[in-house]
């Protein structure tokens, strides 16, 4: 092993920040995760009056195999067909292009002294794997995005994120466009996280969304603070946007960030969102459909219960040592009973309609530095992540899975074109999920390889909502070989990437 020098996980976090952020794009600070790969230096381009622009990103694919396969048949490009109970099962696998993203940031002012910047994440719509998601009834899953019709993209455009920042004051900026999510500390692109799978927390949090937001900022050397920890740089972001892509720009979200170090490598974040008014088509018969929002947006994520729930959480990224980083989150999401349509309220099975979840994850990532392997300098790391989600629902409520199946994004029991039975592998409202993923990372210059094993255990599932040919299996193991190439300037030196 070479001398540590600056080869620490702190440097990885700083590299992530400086690569992805333009001045004023502070939302991303609260969504930067523990980072096991070493981002190359961005490519830089002088755009004349538009200032300097920086480009990086990456291409990522995953070869996966898993047991307790749920029943599948050929479907269409948007929804998979599902076979009858008692078919399929066993072991299966597939390969998918999970991410192909170019990240573009302008840097500094434009036209001389105009405090305006642009940011865009463009490319193949992200299909980053999610813990426990293997059924064709949930997306993204591990099937190939194209060719089999078993893994819909869930995105309407190749513009994943894209927004403009106007920062007239040191302490204030306003941003508009397709904005990053305000929730959580993981990022929806796999190679920007310590492990290939996203935790289910990230999957249930609000989405990238069209909207506007304002940012209030303070530096560590300033004399004024906005109620945050004295002596540290902090930000407060308030966003109004179309969260979960419902077609209604009425989701109010916030992100409060407390930096614990001057370089931003350690921080605490509080985040959450609520609806200013309920959204969703409840139908003339008083029933709530399980599919998209009729007449608004065919690419909506989740359904009525997900869209109208409130969420609040807290997370941190903290360097325990020079080499060991911890990323942790805990959050609560709940559907107010007052947001349940009047005609669907009631007491079922002697219990009220209390739909909520508690979820947590903690990620540890260790950087061993540069090791000589096969005669070449290879950056070697290892990461592990346990996670847990507790869901509380009312299984006697005929609309329970529409209101409270957060893990399955509300799809359990839905009626969609081309699907015979949508319960398989969608968990159900009363399910609890235990997850654990771990594996090493190997990086040679811009190329990386991450073999990973992921284990999921479901508890308290309803029959037909689990894994396997009858939807009754509680356990699943996935073996994955995640690999790709990072875009950026290669630095050939004895300490790895610059």
- Work out the pLDDT band at 254, boundaries 50, 70, 90: very high
User: For residue 237, with 0-12 CB atoms within 10 Å meaning exposed, 13-18 middle and 19 or more buried, which class applies?
Assistant: buried
Q: Are 160 and 119 in contact (CB under 8 A)?
A: no
Predicted model pTM: 0.88
Q: What is the DSSP string of 59-119?
A: EEEEEEEESSPPP-B---SSS-B---TTS--S-EEEEEEEEEEEEEEEES-BTTTB-EEEE
pLDDT at site 82: 58
Alpha-carbon distance 407 to 414, whole Å?
14
Token reading at 110: 């434009």
Enter the tokens of residue 456. 């999921």
Average of per-residue pLDDT values in the chain: 81
Note the pLDDT of residue 17.
Answer: 43
Is the Cβ–Cβ distance between 280 and 288 less than 8 Å?
A: yes
> Nearest-CA neighbor of 489 among 457, 450, 445?
445
DSSP 203-256: HHSPPPEEEEEEEEEE-TT-S--SSS-TTS-EEEEEEEE-GGG-S---EEEEEE
CA dist list (Å): 462 to 400, 424, 426, 466: 12, 10, 10, 7
What percent of the chain shows pLDDT beyond 90? 55
Which is higher by pLDDT, 480 or 234? 480
Contact between 255 and 27 (Cβ < 8 Å): yes
Give ∠ CA 77-79-84 in degrees, rounded to 5.
130
pLDDT of residue 451: 98
Task: Please enumerate in sequence order all residues whose Cβ is within 8 A of that of 130, keeping only pairs 6 or more positions apart, or say none.
Answer: 138, 140, 141, 197, 198, 199, 200, 202, 203
Q: Which of 24-33, 37-46, 347-356, 449-458 has the highest mean pLDDT?
A: 449-458
pLDDT digits 0-9 by tens, 309-359: 999 999 999 999 999 999 999 999 999 999 998 888 999 999 999 999 999
Neighbouring CB atoms inside 10 A of 317's CB total 28
| Tens of pLDDT, residues 408-440 | 886 643 333 333 456 888 898 889 999 999 999
pLDDT band for position 73 (cuts 50, 70, 90)? low
Which residues touch 113 (CB under 8 Å, ≥6 apart)?
Answer: none
pLDDT tens sequence across 364-408:
999 999 999 989 999 999 999 999 999 999 989 988 888 999 998
Angle at 14 between CA 10 and CA 16, to 5 degrees: 115
Domain residue ranges in the chain: 9-48+63-487
Burial class of residue 492 (count of CB atoms within 10 Å of its CB; 0-12, 13-18, 19+): exposed
Tokens 């921080």, located at residue: 267
- Helices assigned H by DSSP within 259-309: 304-308
Q: What CATH number belongs to 9-48+63-487?
A: 2.40.160.10
> Does 102 score more than 70 pLDDT?
yes
Residues in the chain: 498
Rounded mean pLDDT of 446-463?
A: 94
What tokens appear for 181 in the block? Answer: 């999510």
Contact between residue 94 and residue 14 where contact means Cβ atoms under 8 Å apart? no
Greater model confidence, 36 or 270: 270
Q: Is the pLDDT score of 126 beyond 60?
A: yes
Q: Is a pLDDT exceeding 80 seen at residue 176?
A: yes
Segment 196-204 shows an average pLDDT of 96
Going by pLDDT thresholds of 50, 70 and 90, the confidence category of residue 110 is confident
Per-residue pLDDT, 242: 94
Please calculate the CA angle 440-206-384 and round it to the nearest 5 degrees: 15
**468/90 Cα distance (integer angstroms):** 7
Contacts of 76 (CB under 8 A, 6+ apart): 149, 417, 418
Give Cα separations from 362 to 11, 241, 328, 365 (angstroms): 20, 28, 4, 10
CB 155, CB 125: distance < 8 Å: yes
């629902």: which residue's tokens?
A: 393
For residue 367, list its beta bridge partners.
Answer: 381
Residue 359 CA to residue 309 CA, distance in Å, equals 15
Query: What is the reported pLDDT for 247?
Result: 87
Establish how many alpha carbons lie within 13 A of residue 332's alpha carbon, considering only the half-sphere containing its beta carbon: 6
Determine how many CB atoms are found less than 10 A away from the CB of residue 224.
7
Cα 85 off chain centre by: 31
- Name the residue with higher pLDDT: 64 or 264: 64
């Amino acid at each position: 092993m070479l001398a540590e020098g600056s080869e620490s996980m702190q440097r990885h976090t700083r590299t992530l920040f400086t690569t992805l952020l333009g001045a004023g794009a502070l939302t991303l600070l609260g969504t930067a995760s523990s980072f096991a790969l070493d981002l190359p230096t961005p490519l830089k381009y002088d755009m004349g009056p538009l200032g300097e622009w920086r480009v990086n990103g990456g291409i990522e694919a995953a070869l996966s195999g898993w047991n307790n396969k749920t029943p599948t048949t050929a479907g269409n490009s948007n929804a998979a067909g599902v076979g009858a109970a008692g078919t399929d099962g066993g072991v299966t696998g597939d390969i998918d292009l999970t991410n192909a993203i170019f990240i573009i940031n302008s840097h500094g002012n434009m036209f001389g002294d105009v405090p305006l910047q642009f940011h865009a994440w463009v490319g193949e719509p992200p299909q980053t794997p999610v813990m426990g998601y293997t059924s064709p009834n949930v997306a993204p899953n591990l099937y190939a995005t194209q060719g089999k019709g078993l893994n819909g993209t869930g995105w309407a455009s190749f513009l994943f994120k894209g927004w403009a920042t106007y920062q007239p004051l040191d302490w204030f900026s306003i941003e508009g466009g397709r904005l990053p999510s305000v929730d959580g500390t993981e990022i929806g692109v796999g190679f920007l996280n310590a492990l290939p799978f996203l935790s289910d927390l990230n999957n249930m949090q609000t989405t990238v969304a069209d909207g506007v937001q304002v940012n209030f900022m303070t530096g560590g050397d300033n004399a004024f603070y906005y109620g945050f920890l004295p002596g540290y740089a902090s930000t407060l972001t308030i966003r109004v946007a179309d969260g979960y892509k419902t077609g209604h720009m009425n989701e109010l979200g916030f992100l409060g960030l407390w930096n614990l170090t001057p370089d931003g490598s350690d921080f605490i974040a509080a985040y959450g969102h609520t609806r200013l008014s309920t959204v969703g088509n409840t139908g003339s018969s008083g029933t709530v459909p399980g599919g998209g929002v009729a007449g608004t947006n065919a690419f909506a994520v989740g359904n009525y219960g997900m869209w109208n729930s409130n969420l609040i959480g807290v997370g941190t990224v903290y360097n325990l040592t020079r080499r060991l980083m911890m990323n942790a989150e805990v959050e609560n999401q709940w559907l107010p009973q007052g947001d349940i349509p009047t005609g669907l309220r009631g007491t079922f099975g002697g219990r009220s309609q209390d739909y909520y979840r508690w979820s947590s994850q903690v990620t540890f990532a260790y950087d061993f530095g540069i090791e000589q392997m096969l005669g070449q300098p290879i950056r070697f790391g290892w990461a592990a992540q346990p996670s847990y989600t507790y869901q509380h629902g009312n299984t006697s409520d005929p609309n329970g899975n529409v209101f409270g199946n957060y893990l399955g994004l509300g799809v359990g029991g839905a009626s969609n074109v081309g699907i015979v039975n949508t319960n398989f592998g969608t968990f159900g409202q009363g399910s609890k999920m235990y997850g654990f993923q771990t594996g090493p990372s190997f990086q040679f210059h811009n190329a990386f390889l991450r073999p990973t094993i992921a284990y999921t255990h479901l508890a308290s599932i309803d029959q037909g909502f689990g894994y396997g040919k009858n939807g009754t299996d509680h356990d699943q193991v996935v073996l994955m070989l995640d690999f790709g190439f990072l875009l950026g300037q290669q630095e050939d030196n004895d300490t790895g990437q610059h």
